[in-house]
Structure 1
Amino acid sequence: MNENSTLSDTALSGIQGPVLHPGHADYDEERAGFQAAYSHRPALIVGAENADDVRAAVAYAHTHGLGVAVQSTGHGLSAAADGGVLITTGRMKELRIDPAARTAHAAAGVRWAEVIEAAAAHGLAPINGSAPGVGVVGYLTGGGLGILGRQFGYAADHVRALDLVTADGTLHHVTADSEPELFWAVRGGGGNFGAVTAVEFDLVALPEVYGGILAYADEQVEPALAAYLEWTADLPDELTSSVALMSWPDAPFAPEAFRGRYVMSVRVAFTGSAEEGERLVAPLRAVSAPLVDNLRVMPYSESHTIHSDPPHPHPYDGDNALVTAVPAEAVRSLTGAEARTGAIVQIKHLGGALGREPKVPNPVGHRDARFLVTALSALFDMERDEARDVHERVLAPLVPVRVGRNLNHLFGEFGEGVVRDVYEEDALRRLGEVKAAYDPGNVFRHTYNIRPGVGS
């Protein structure tokens, strides 16, 4: 059947959630996601209520030779579907915390804000990222670079089990013992191997954190960035930090101190004492008096304020580079006129546990990288191709020290060449073999796609 053919609801009559075709009053709202630059245009949407709905939708697509896209929040939309079946999982909200085992069990529609709140009641915290509105499943299957990654590693390193519907419509409970190759692949291989309906993962004992931002503006930025890069050379794993470089508009939504200024924000998260945190950040404060300095001890449930990622859907595109260093010529490019006017640049300090292999390996690679550098542009007044030209030029001085890309920080549609850059050669070959075993027809292709047998 052609992917744009009119599909019958009859074969899907047992599904509990809504089944929508183009033209239905709820179709556009159901397919919309956080990424507003583009969206799926499927021939059929299944708004899954549970794992059985997901299984039925995948089985239907498999029977009719249709591609399947899966969307929870739409933050990481990578390849918009034109036709086929879209499964939306936002209604799947089951969440259980086991405080004794220090684990969480989250269904496919759960967001990190919900896990953080539920875990905090027990003095626990997940290995979440900076944006609490991001979906748990997409973040974990992309690897998951958390705000405390240097201490705890990638979030994918802490996954214990997954419930996954493979391309033939079979629901699997996947662990390191039950299906080791599939378990290895899904934890960092993206949505290429099936539709995850639930995931079980570790929590850590962490009721509070020392964190916040130190912000520098205008002529302070370049010396502050140089000091930051030097500062990261000798830090304990318990301190994870990053930098955001951005020209703020003179607009009401911008923080008052930032309006109309070029600002570097150093975001700090530290699990030690406030006294030790103060000692560690002293070299940054010594550069010059920060424009903003709000470092403090906070409940972990307030940790999202460290980054204050935008909560509302908007159009954007971005690329990244995992690098072993940020040389002087790159600093000039990352803070130059083109970056200031065309992109938001972020530099995340890696190393620590992020540089070590987990006890149960996964395909998240390039662990020798010392920094992740991202160039991101909002597409309100800029076309995607224009933004990508800016990103390429801004990141160009990093090419000699670039070791790869990070999957979760690709923001847009990219081809196979970029996807290859995410994985090390042996891992990509192995991922292609797992794909061939579980999805030989490439049903789950609306992803940063790994083709069956790629790399072999």
Structure 2
Amino acid sequence: MENPMNHFDGFRAALTGEAFGPGDDGYEAVRLPWNLLIEQRPALVVLAESVADVQATVRLAAEQGLPLAVQSSGHGAVHPCDDGVVLNVSRLTGVDIDAESKIASLDAGARWRAVLEAAAPYELAGLSGTAPTIGAVGYTLGGGLGLMLRRFGFAADSVVAADVVTADGSLVHASQTENPELLWALKGGSGNFGVVTRLQVRLYHVPAVHHGMAVYPGARAAEVLGAWAEWNGGVSDAVTSAVNVMSVPPLPTVPEPMRGQHVAMVRATIAGGDGAELDGLRSALGVPLMDGFRTCTYLEAALSGMEPTDPMPATGSSALLSELSAGAVDTLLAMSAPGSPVPSIEIRHLGGAAAKEPDQPSAVSHRDAGYSAAANAIAPTPEQLAAVQERLAEGFGALSGYTHPGALVNFMPARSTPEKVRTAFSPESYQRLREIKRTYDPSNLFRFNHNIPPAS
């Protein structure tokens, strides 16, 4: 195949960053996102190092009629961009903290770890999730279920303003006073409306949290989930928690009580640093195999997760639940039973501040859901992928009698159709998003995402 970059020498020369085509040294290293199941062979991969690079790349794709995918850490890649342009913004890593106003300004490729480390000296925290290596901007635009979800709401609700390169290459500012409709759409509508080159988000004064996990034998998983669900009925909004039932690999980096075992792990973050609310759960469940709860800084809590960091072939599925009934628990546990090709299921407690409409509205919908359930697996071979997908289809199909009708953008599986994406929003919000999409991206240039097509 001829290197398409031969046709774009002027484009390459004008870049501050770098561009790679098939056959170029370095192309193989940059063409794949974090999820290796998104096997893509783009005609161009642009590693942008400036906003001007972003604008030039968007214009190039639009003028040449080429598909365009925007990627940062690569965790959000959901459709392979073959024969198109991949705009990689991972080199745009600037982070500025205004401690007085409690606002963080993040460049397009900033990772959560860098944001939290910059905010920590001021005892401020952003609404990050369980993986500090993930891109902060993409995570936030997709909603963002953080470690303090019930205390401060969805990460998207804390967006203050954004600079956005739209489909014609223009750089526009979105705030409550300038392009407010675009700002509303960005807060939960994901990357459908342009390339966010700078995002401003609220930070929160969090001097300490009580954080950690307690590990119980997997044979007690139904008991753990039942006690946890009952406990959730009485906790304050300061408590954000989840249960992960999984078969832990026998790796030397895994603590001995868990290594190679099927376990149920209760994870919680309590904003404010007081662990007294855990007493009821401890009384119900007794002594765990391992108890790692402690009072610490938010930064320490955010960096303590066990999320994988290396690229891998990952797949999964998810659902929202109105409540965690015994039938739902049995179905979830059957899906991830020992020996299953799906080794883990995570159930998160929602509600609290996330259930309330924020002071400044956002596109995030389905705030009445009580829980989310997500199952994930590594599938390095076609045979393993087929087995995983079959188990996921069976498991979530059986769960359908217990599910909430909505969905969450950040938890949607790869290759979700627009019909599936529609379920992440209320009918009114979805129609409003489509109309805003028509204004800013009428040709659907930004479609290699959980796509919202423009209104006709």
TM range (shorter): over 0.9
2:272 is aligned with 1:269:
no
2:350 aligns with 350
Q: Distance in 1 between matches of 2:314 and 2:380?
A: 8
- CA deviation vs aligned residue, 1:175-201 (integer Å, no higher than 9, x gap): 122111111111111111111111011
2:22 aligns with 22
1:347 to partner: Cα distance: 0.4
2:390 aligns with 389
Distance 1:326 1:342, change over 3 A: farther
Q: Distance in 1 between matches of 2:454 and 2:12?
A: 28
2:454 aligns with 452
2:400 aligns with 399
Q: Secondary structure of 2:380's match?
A: coil
Q: Distance in 2 between matches of 1:385 and 1:433?
A: 38
Contact 1:4 / 1:83 at 8 angstroms: preserved in 2? no
- Choose from 418, 421, 424 the match for 1:422: 424
TM-score with structure 2 length normalisation?
0.94
Q: Secondary structure of 2:52's match?
A: helix
Question: 25-34 vs 76-85, which deviates more?
Answer: 25-34
Question: 4-13 vs 367-376, which deviates more?
Answer: 4-13
Q: Secondary structure of 1:412's match?
A: coil
Question: 125-134 vs 381-390, which deviates more?
Answer: 381-390
Instruction: State the AA in 1 paired with 2:341.
Output: G
Q: How high is the sequence identity, in percent, across the aligned residues? A: 36
Q: Distance in 2 between matches of 1:290 and 1:110?
A: 37
* Stretches of structure 1 lacking an aligned partner (at least 5 in a row): none
Contact 2:212 / 2:292 at 8 angstroms: preserved in 1? yes
Q: Distance in 2 between matches of 1:46 and 1:199?
A: 21
Contact 1:242 / 1:268 at 8 angstroms: preserved in 2? yes
2:287 aligns with 289
2:141 aligns with 141
Contact 1:40 / 1:86 at 8 angstroms: preserved in 2? no
Q: Distance in 2 between matches of 1:407 and 1:187?
A: 11
1:156 to partner: Cα distance: 0.6
Q: Distance in 2 between matches of 1:219 and 1:131?
A: 28
Q: Secondary structure of 1:256's match?
A: coil
2:143 is aligned with 1:128:
no
Distance 1:425 1:4, change over 3 A: farther
Distance 1:337 1:170, change over 3 A: closer
Instruction: State the AA in 1 paired with 2:333.
Output: T
2:111 is aligned with 1:116:
no
2:205 is aligned with 1:205:
yes
Alignment of 1:308-387 (within 5 A): 308-336=306-334, 339-340=337-338, 341-343=340-342, 344-380=344-380, 383-387=384-388
Q: Secondary structure of 2:122's match?
A: coil
Q: Secondary structure of 1:446's match?
A: coil
- CA deviation vs aligned residue, 1:100-151 (integer Å, no higher than 9, x gap): 0101111011100001101001111101111000001110110111110001
Q: Secondary structure of 1:259's match?
A: coil
Distance 1:429 1:5, change over 3 A: farther
Instruction: State the AA in 1 paired with 2:210.
Output: Y
Distance 1:15 1:261, change over 3 A: same
Q: Distance in 2 between matches of 1:154 and 1:116?
A: 17
Instruction: State the AA in 1 paired with 2:103.
Output: T
1:234 aligns with 234
Contact 1:227 / 1:284 at 8 angstroms: preserved in 2? no
Instruction: State the AA in 1 paired with 2:391.
Output: V
2:254 is aligned with 1:254:
yes
Contact 1:333 / 1:339 at 8 angstroms: preserved in 2? no
1:436 aligns with 438
Distance 1:442 1:5, change over 3 A: farther
Q: Secondary structure of 1:290's match?
A: coil
1:323 to partner: Cα distance: 1.4
- CA deviation vs aligned residue, 1:408-446 (integer Å, no higher than 9, x gap): 112422222221121111111111111111111111111
Q: Distance in 1 between matches of 2:53 and 2:4?
A: 21
Q: Secondary structure of 1:121's match?
A: helix
Q: Secondary structure of 1:231's match?
A: helix
1:336 to partner: Cα distance: 1.9
1:410 aligns with 412
Alignment of 1:52-63 (within 5 A): 52-63=52-63
1:70 to partner: Cα distance: 0.7
Question: 387-396 vs 86-95, which deviates more?
Answer: 387-396
Q: Distance in 1 between matches of 2:143 and 2:45?
A: 27
Distance 1:233 1:150, change over 3 A: same
Contact 2:211 / 2:270 at 8 angstroms: preserved in 1? yes
Contact 1:317 / 1:376 at 8 angstroms: preserved in 2? yes
2:9 aligns with 9
Contact 1:12 / 1:56 at 8 angstroms: preserved in 2? no
Q: Distance in 2 between matches of 1:75 and 1:432?
A: 25
- CA deviation vs aligned residue, 1:238-264 (integer Å, no higher than 9, x gap): 010011110123333433211222111
Give aligned pairs, total. 450
Q: Secondary structure of 2:394's match?
A: helix
Q: Distance in 2 between matches of 1:351 and 1:106?
A: 27
Instruction: State the AA in 2 paired with 1:168.
Output: D
Instruction: State the AA in 1 paired with 2:106.
Output: A
1:273 to partner: Cα distance: 4.0
Distance 1:398 1:444, change over 3 A: same
Distance 1:289 1:312, change over 3 A: same
- CA deviation vs aligned residue, 1:389-408 (integer Å, no higher than 9, x gap): 21222223432332211111
1:337 to partner: Cα distance: 6.2
1:329 to partner: Cα distance: 1.6
Question: 283-292 vs 431-440, which deviates more?
Answer: 283-292
- CA deviation vs aligned residue, 1:55-86 (integer Å, no higher than 9, x gap): 01101111111221111100111111011211
